[in-house]
Structure 1
Amino acid sequence: MKIGFIGLGIMGRPMALNLKKGGHELIVPERASLTGDVREAARVVATPRDVAAESETLILMLPDTPDVETVLFGENGAAEGLRKGTLVIDMSSISPIETRDYAKRINAKGCDYLDAPVSGGEVGAKQATLTVMIGGPDAAFERAKPLFELMGKTITHVGPENGAGQVCKVANQIIVALNIQAVSEALVFASRAGADPAKVRAAISGGFAASRVLELHGERMIKGSFDPGFKIKLHQKDLNLALSSAKALDLALPNTAVVQQLFASCIAHGGAEQDHSALIQVTEGLAAHSIRDKK
């Protein structure tokens, strides 16, 4: 299949390369940031419009809602180049409300649309073990499923309505964010009370408190290794989506609001590009204590 792929960042690049490994042809837009392996693997064309014109399936993996709108509907946007019958798959994490509007506009061109945000970070993207949450028509999902299986391990068709996948992703991001903060507070508490946080983490990993966040991000926190797998600024963006959607639903999400503000503190202190596990630094600051302090 000829697959257009737009959004070749930390996660998009390995996702696209996994599609190439699966035997598909890649078409990507020219960017100064394109890496050598992508240039070797893909046909590079000038604009999103050109990408869409040559694609049977178009995949987007972009940072935020305005980025998706610009790539689809801006000047020389992909929507201008779409041919009837093209499948558009947005794997970005964006607004469920805007997703429904974008789907209607793409459907009006005779094309199917799926929202298929992912979870699993850079590691999951590289290992093709992402969790993929899909909203959209059954037939479009069945058509896209072999592609999802080249990029992910847990593939769930959440519902036939566009936006269902984005709603699921927002729910996922609420859980992950609150879990990161819970692990942060637990490790800072343990360390400040005189216990070895690494040993505390090992002990509770075998009990009911076990989680992927404790396993992976707990280790990052202890080592102080905050190179981004998923950036703080992007997780804050996802919590903003949760809170704006909750407002529209007259729904209170008090703990989500607190963690969103803690992410804002991270960003204010220059941590926007750090991994979201660096959230612990806010709790450490409030305690005037670092869990990596050996004194």
Structure 2
Amino acid sequence: MTTAKIAVIGLGSMGYGIAASALKGGLVVHGFDVAKDAMDRFRAEGGAAGTLDTIAGDLAAVMVVVLNAAQTEDVLFGAKGIVPQMRPGSVAIACATVSPAFARQMEERCAEAGVHYLDAPISGGALKAASGALTVLASGTPAAFDAAEPVLAVTAEKVYRLGDHAGPGSAMKAVNQLLAGVHIATMAEAMTFGMTQGVSPEAFMEVIPQCAGTSWMLENRGPHIVEGDYTPRSSVNIWPKDLGIVLDIARSAGFGAPLAAAAMQQFLAAAGSGLSQEDDAAVAKVYARNANLKLPGHTGGGTE
């Protein structure tokens, strides 16, 4: 049996883990990124060599793990777009958070080139990406799912088939991102509110995860604040984009989303304070600054 050859485009915290999981799963994996160091590191760990233009025609699948719709479109159809170079019957698996309308548009353009498109936003974080245990919120034609199966089998723990055409996967991701963004901002608000009443972040993280008010985001991001470690696993600048998509969809549906809008403002404030490249738990620094609180790891200045 011939081993499937794939490319992962975008070797950030999620994409690198996906590429590594695919490699462990026995696929031939080419990894590409604008950062040469990430590409060199992946090749040193077993990634296949070759430039994208020379290997595109040999690929069974390309997994696009970039930041947004503009980058996705550029990878697929830009000046050096990969879709026109891919063989008929191969599949583009698009993982960024985008609008359902954009996903449908990409599916149509890929189909014109004889390439399948899987609307496949992902959830689970960098650790699950690295362990091949992602959740994929997918929609696409049955043929697109079939073509993507070898990749999904070694990179995902759960694959939800949400529709026979692109769009529903991105719609579900928008629902998830509304909750996730609000939960992070709410966690930061609750933790700093507790500090005004003498509840330390350490005590908060000891008690609240055992109570009804907990959430996955609270349990995942809260420790970053306690440790004073804002190394970006998922950065602040993700949320103005993702909650912006949520609010755009809401407006088009005539739907009010006031909690999403409130969370959006907190992330915009964090980004405007110079925190855009820090871990998204750094939204707590906005609350701390406004309440004149000192978070763990406070160094005496800025927004900490």
Matched, 1:109 2:113: yes
| Counterpart residue identity of residue 166, structure 1 | S
For the residues of structure 1 that align with 2:182 and 2:151, how far apart are their CA atoms?
31
Instruction: Tell me how far 1:283 sits from its aligned partner.
Output: 1.4
Aligned residue for 2:186? Answer: 182
How far residue 117 of structure 1 moved from its aligned partner, in angstroms, is 0.9
After superposition, give the CA deviation of every residue in 1:192-226 in whole Å (9 maximum; x if it has no partner): 11123322332221121122222121111222211
CA contact (8 A) 1:4 1:54 kept: no
> Does residue 72 in structure 1 map to residue 94 in structure 2?
no
CA contact (8 A) 1:116 1:134 kept: yes
Q: Deviations over 1:150-194 (max 9, x none)?
A: 222222112222011111111111101111122111111111111
* Counterpart-to-counterpart distance in 2, 1:224 and 1:65: 32
Q: Does 1:220 find its partner at 2:213?
A: no
Q: Is 1:163 equivalent to 2:167 in the alignment?
A: yes
Q: Taking every aligned residue pair, what percent have the same amino acid on both sides?
A: 27
Partner of 1:145: 149
- Please name the residue that 1:119 is paired with: 123
Contact 1:227 1:274 in 2 (8 A): yes
How do 1:1-295 residues align onto structure 2 when only pairs under 5 Å count? 1-29=4-32, 31=34, 32-40=36-44, 41-47=46-52, 49-292=53-296
- Per the normalisation by structure 1, the TM-score is 0.93
Structure 1 runs of 4+ aligned residues shifted over 6 Å read: none
Contact preservation (8 Å) 2:104, 2:166: yes
Q: 1:44 to 1:95 in 2, by over 3 A?
A: farther
Q: 1:143 and 1:2 mapped to 2: Cα distance?
A: 12
* CA–CA distance in structure 1, aligned partners of residues 149 and 213 of structure 2: 34
- Cα distance in 2 for residues equivalent to 1:50 and 1:105: 22
Aligned length: 293
Conserved 8 A contact 1:8-1:61:
yes
Structure 2 CA distance for partners of 1:107 and 1:221, relative to 1, 3 Å: same
CA contact under 8 A between 2:122 and 2:137: conserved in structure 1? yes
Tell me the TM-score normalized by structure 2: 0.90
Q: How far off its partner does 1:79 sit?
A: 1.8
Which whole-Å CA distance do the structure 2 matches of 1:200 and 1:74 have between them?
48
| Matches of 2:179 and 2:151, distance apart in 1 | 27
CA offset at residue 233 of structure 1? 0.7
User: C-alpha distance in 2, partners of 1:220/1:17?
Assistant: 25
